[in-house]
Amino acid sequence: MLRNRLIFGLIYSSGSFMQSRNFRLQRVGDVNWLEKNYKFQKISFSLDELVVLDATKGEKNIEKFSQVVSRLVEDVFIPIAAGGGIRKIGDAELLFNSGADKVILNSPLYDDPKLAEEVVNRYGSQSLVASVDYKVINDVPIVHIHDGVTPVKKSLEEYLAYLESLGVGEIIFNSIDKDGTGFGYDLENIKKYAKSVSVPFIVMGGAGNKFHLSSGLSIDGVSAVATANLFNFIGDGLPIARSHMLEHNANLARWD
């Protein structure tokens, strides 16, 4: 049986790492601050994967972002998925050459699906992660692209099926409404959509403690839980969360 995963997300913007709430960004610190407070060589033993997203508004600088990814790779010995600002196959290649194991696409999956095809043909499906940002409007979850601004003209169910048809290797299911709140995942919609695709389904948006992470993994069809909440997981937060999840029979890898 494949193990589930505990993933930590880092939100990057214009040279700094950010705390995000409903996609509104607040600066926390640069990569030096991150290394000082997180000590990734130690904390990576509590994680299965690291996600790094460039959420810079407007024009993104893929070269500078790739340098940040390269620096993170020096201290992290777990898979890294990186995305944000990938607009052509050369951008994906740059991130792979900087140490990323996977690349993440969001808006281009809708705007330029041929890019997904190029990534899959060159690097394989396992190298491509689709990020789906959605918010609930009039009780209906609507996919949004372009930094959460533009709604797409497909239902969420149709969009997930569309992504699978592109050959993506896994899907990050991210609630804009829950993002950064620390109040827990959007369990209602996760339960509704987690089994609608056959690829691994990662949930993100809202986790603020170990109980939220456990609740996400308990849902049938969920392959991984992710959190990007910087403040709740400084110090021993992630090791404690993993221990708690294992004590409650989570299907996570044990390294003791």
Task: Transcribe 19-78 into DSSP letters.
Answer: EEETTEEEEEE-HHHHHHHH-HHHHGGG-SEEEEEE--SSS--HHHHHHHHHHHHTT--S
CB 193 within 8 A of CB 220: no
Structural fold of domain 5-247 = TIM Barrel (3.20.20)
Say yes or no to pLDDT of 256 above 70. Answer: no
Helix (H, G, I), strand (E, B) or coil at 231: helix
3-class secondary-structure state, position 235: coil
Is residue 102 over pLDDT 70? yes
**Residues 2-30, mean pLDDT to the nearest whole number:** 92
Question: Comparing 55-59, 84-88, 107-111, 207-211, which segment has the lowest mean pLDDT?
Answer: 55-59
What are the residue ranges spanned by the domains of the chain?
5-247
pLDDT at residue 40 in the model: 67
> Which of the following is catalytic: 48, 54, 91, 133?
133
Q: Give just the sign of the alpha carbon dihedral 13, 19, 25, 30.
A: negative
List, for residues 151-184, the tens digit of each pLDDT value: 999 999 999 999 999 999 999 999 999 999 999 9
Residue 231 pLDDT greater than 80, yes or no: no
133 is catalytic: yes
What is the pLDDT at residue 103?
A: 98
pLDDT in tens, 48-60: 999 999 999 888 9
Percent of the chain with pLDDT over 90: 77
The per-residue pLDDT for 118 is: 98
Record the pTM. 0.95
Residue 10's pLDDT is 92
Neighbours of 27 (CB within 10 A): 13
Q: Tell me what pLDDT residue 37 has.
A: 76
Mind listing the pLDDT tens digit for each residue in 237-250? Answer: 888 899 999 998 89
